[in-house]
């Protein structure tokens, strides 16, 4: 425990050895969130696919509704044209199917039904009134053989005489005059007479009834044709009016759609183009579609149809399976990736811990280096004094004895050489430890190289080494610290000379590889290096020299890097080495190097 007068100046606490960069819980949460996002995306894709397929089937249903609407309108127009022609020209014989013939067949069925009730003595005026309301008929009247009224749902018009009543019998040649009008009301009527002429049924339609039955028979014929021609995809179709009375239908119909439903009420009002719902009907999955029916540019009713969803469901099931397979694969990949991330991060943590230790060691070495630089600087003064003293001893205190004289000169030479060697080591060490701040100026590279060649040519010649330059009149000028870059090139060339034992050659070449780059190559025929040695040559702690510190290449590397350049080394043991120094030639790279 610290006392009050104690103070912590510096303390280092290493992280515990078992610490993890990412806790397992964090990794699990990230995995869960990522997997959840994938699942949500997959479900959204399924919903989007389902909506797309439903929209496709709705369009298919709208196409069917369009066909019903178009053919119904054509039948209505044909019926109106027939009515107009009959009014103007009298009776029109019917020889083939027409909307008029279909309407007459419906009215004949009503007359037959009323006649059956009459024959069974179940006919009354109340029955006729209910029957007329149900079938939207204006008049139903029954006449006996003499033409007297027996039953009627409303007062029989007085302007219709027995001789004026057209007759529809069941013979082969049917003579029908449906559109003859009651004179006073202009209401068309038709009469059906028994074959034995013992009774006649008269049916008349007002404007509302005409419109209803004209629409009904037109739709029924269209539905009948559509049911025969439509494929198996259409399971049923029904057309209703605003009161949900059926105009026509084909197939087994499902339960009614609640008209109070907002979407369905929009269809009945015409504000919605189409609505649909998924239903199960007679063991099959169907899409129940409803769409307004427009006739004469007005909403006359609603078309409901059911389309088989079997094909759509197969597509959805297949895509659901594919999506879940894909999601499973992605989940597995995610879990594997998270595991690898967890493992790599812990490995990186170990690297960070090791880096912290190295940084701590580097800081200690830096402090020791600064101290050593100061000590080395101080050692130079005693060395100078020793050097001067040895020179004076050699000059003034030579022994008279010949044997001692030779021994004296030998010892003095050893002192002189060792002082020179110590001074060289100190000079190299101080040069490496000096500030690396660079002062850039534009200067020709060829002049720097030529100056170095002139400086060491004599030494190279004395060692049997040939210096060859290949500048090709290249006058490249780059931003540089002339003294520092000259020192770097000199160190490369000296290293090349030291690698040559005996005679050899050094080639110094300069070329411009790109517009913003120049290449300086220094190739020698020396001993070469192994790949392991190449990896370590720029490490200050590595040297193969027996004398000196071996700081020349690390210093050159630092200078080149300070100029924003890079160094490539190509070497083979026993075949020489090539140093390629690549330097930028523009000021942008110069500024980056300064930064």
pTM, rounded to two decimals: 0.47
pLDDT at 232 (0 to 100): 58
Give the residue-averaged pLDDT of 302-323: 85
pLDDT at 416 (0 to 100): 78
Among 144-153, 426-435, 530-539, 575-584, the range with the most confident prediction by mean pLDDT is 575-584
pLDDT at 550 (0 to 100): 60
The phi, psi pair for 581, rounded to 5°, reads -100, 115
Kindly report the average pLDDT of the chain as a whole number. 77
The string of pLDDT tens digits covering residues 373-398 is 667 667 777 877 887 887 777 777 77
What's the Cα-to-Cα distance from 533 to each of 536, 550, 551, rounded to whole Å? 5, 13, 15
CATH number at residue 478: 3.30.565.10
Q: How many domains does the chain have?
A: 2
Residue 152 has pLDDT above 50, yes or no: yes
Asked if the structure places residue 84 within a domain, the reply is no
Residue 148 has pLDDT above 90, yes or no: no
Asked if the structure places residue 138 within a domain, the reply is yes
Domain boundary among 213, 233, 266: 213
What's the Cα-to-Cα distance from 29 to each of 26, 38, 339, rounded to whole Å? 5, 14, 13
Asked if the structure places residue 38 within a domain, the reply is no
Domain boundary among 164, 183, 213: 213
User: What percentage of the chain has pLDDT greater than the value 70?
Assistant: 77
DSSP state of 156: P
How would you classify the pairing of strands 139-144 and 149-152?
A: antiparallel
Domain boundary among 168, 184, 213: 213
**Closest of 449, 54, 466, 85 to residue 274, by C-alpha:** 54
Asked if the structure places residue 190 within a domain, the reply is yes
Residue 18 has pLDDT above 50, yes or no: no
Least confident piece of the model among 60-74, 149-163, 290-304, 479-493: 149-163
Asked if the structure places residue 310 within a domain, the reply is no
Asked if the structure places residue 298 within a domain, the reply is no
pLDDT at 169 (0 to 100): 43
- Give the contacts of 362 (CB within 8 A, at least 6 positions apart): none
Residue 489 has pLDDT above 80, yes or no: yes
Least confident piece of the model among 52-66, 290-304, 439-453, 531-545: 531-545
Asked if the structure places residue 106 within a domain, the reply is yes
**Closest of 289, 251, 317 to residue 56, by C-alpha:** 289
On whether the CB atoms of residues 470 and 510 are closer than 8 A, the answer is yes
pLDDT at 580 (0 to 100): 92
Residue ranges making up the domain that contains 184: 90-213
- Residue 18 or 57, more confident: 57
pLDDT at 523 (0 to 100): 93
Q: Which contiguous run of DSSP H or E holds residue 384?
A: helix 310-396
Asked if the structure places residue 14 within a domain, the reply is no
Among 234-248, 291-305, 309-323, the range with the most confident prediction by mean pLDDT is 291-305
The three-state DSSP-derived secondary structure of 170-219 is CCCCCCCCCCCECCCCCCEEEEEECCCCCEEEEEECCHHHHHHHHHHHHH
């Amino acid at each position: 425990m610290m006392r009050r007068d104690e103070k912590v100046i510096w303390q280092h606490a290493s992280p515990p050895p078992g610490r993890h960069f990412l806790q397992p819980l964090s990794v699990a949460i990230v995995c869960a969130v990522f997997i959840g996002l994938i699942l949500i995306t997959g479900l959204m894709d399924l919903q989007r696919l389902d909506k797309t397929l439903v929209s496709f089937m709705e369009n298919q249903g709208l196409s069917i509704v369009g066909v019903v609407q178009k053919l119904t309108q054509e039948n209505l127009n044909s019926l109106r044209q027939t009515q107009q022609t009959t009014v103007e020209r009298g009776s029109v014989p019917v020889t083939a199917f027409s909307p008029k013939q279909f309407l007459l067949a419906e009215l004949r069925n009503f007359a037959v039904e009323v006649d059956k009730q009459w024959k069974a003595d179940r006919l009354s005026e109340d029955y006729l009134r209910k029957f007329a309301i149900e079938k939207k008929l204006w008049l139903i009247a029954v006449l006996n053989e003499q033409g007297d009224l027996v039953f009627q749902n409303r007062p029989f018009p007085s302007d219709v005489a027995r001789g004026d009543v057209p007759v529809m019998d069941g013979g082969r040649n049917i003579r029908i005059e449906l559109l003859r009008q009651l004179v006073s009301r202009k209401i068309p009527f038709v009469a059906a007479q028994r074959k034995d002429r013992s009774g006649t049924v008269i049916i008349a339609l007002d404007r509302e009834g005409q419109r209803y039955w004209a629409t009904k028979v037109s739709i029924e014929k269209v539905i009948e044709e559509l049911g025969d021609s439509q494929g198996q995809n259409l399971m049923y179709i029904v057309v209703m009016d605003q009161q949900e009375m059926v105009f026509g239908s084909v197939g087994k119909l499902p339960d009614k759609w609640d008209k109070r439903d907002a979407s369905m009420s929009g269809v009945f009002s015409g504000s919605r183009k189409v609505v649909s719902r998924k239903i199960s009907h007679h063991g099959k999955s169907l899409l129940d579609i409803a769409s307004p029916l427009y006739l004469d540019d007005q909403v006359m009713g609603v078309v409901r149809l059911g389309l088989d969803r079997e094909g759509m469901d197969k597509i959805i099931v297949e895509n659901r399976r594919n999506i879940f397979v894909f999601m499973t694969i992605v989940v597995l990949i995610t879990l594997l990736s998270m595991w690898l991330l967890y493992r790599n991060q812990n490995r990186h943590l170990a690297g960070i811990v090791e880096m912290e230790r190295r940084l701590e060691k580097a800081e200690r070495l830096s402090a020791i280096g600064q101290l050593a630089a100061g000590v080395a600087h101080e050692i130079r003064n005693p060395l100078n004094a020793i050097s001067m003293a040895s020179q004076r001893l050699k000059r003034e205190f030579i022994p008279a004895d010949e044997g001692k004289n030779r021994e004296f000169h030998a010892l003095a030479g050893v002192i002189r050489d060792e002082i020179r060697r110590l001074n060289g080591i100190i000079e190299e060490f101080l040069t490496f430890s000096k500030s690396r701040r660079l002062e850039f100026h534009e200067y020709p590279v060829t002049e720097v190289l030529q100056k170095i060649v002139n400086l060491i040519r004599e030494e190279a010649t004395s060692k049997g080494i040939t210096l060859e330059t290949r500048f090709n009149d290249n006058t490249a000028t780059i931003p540089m610290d002339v003294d520092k870059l000259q020192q770097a090139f000199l160190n490369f060339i000296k290293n090349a000379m030291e690698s040559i034992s005996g005679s050899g050659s050094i080639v110094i070449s300069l070329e411009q590889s790109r517009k913003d780059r120049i290449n300086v190559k220094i190739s020698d025929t020396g001993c070469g290096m192994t790949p392991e040695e190449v990896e370590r040559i720029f490490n200050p702690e590595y040297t193969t020299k027996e004398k000196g510190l071996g700081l020349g290449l690390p210093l050159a590397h630092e200078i080149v890097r300070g100029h924003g350049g890079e160094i490539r080394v190509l070497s083979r043991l026993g075949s020489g080495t090539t140093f390629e120094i690549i330097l930028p030639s523009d000021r942008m790279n110069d500024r980056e190097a300064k930064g």
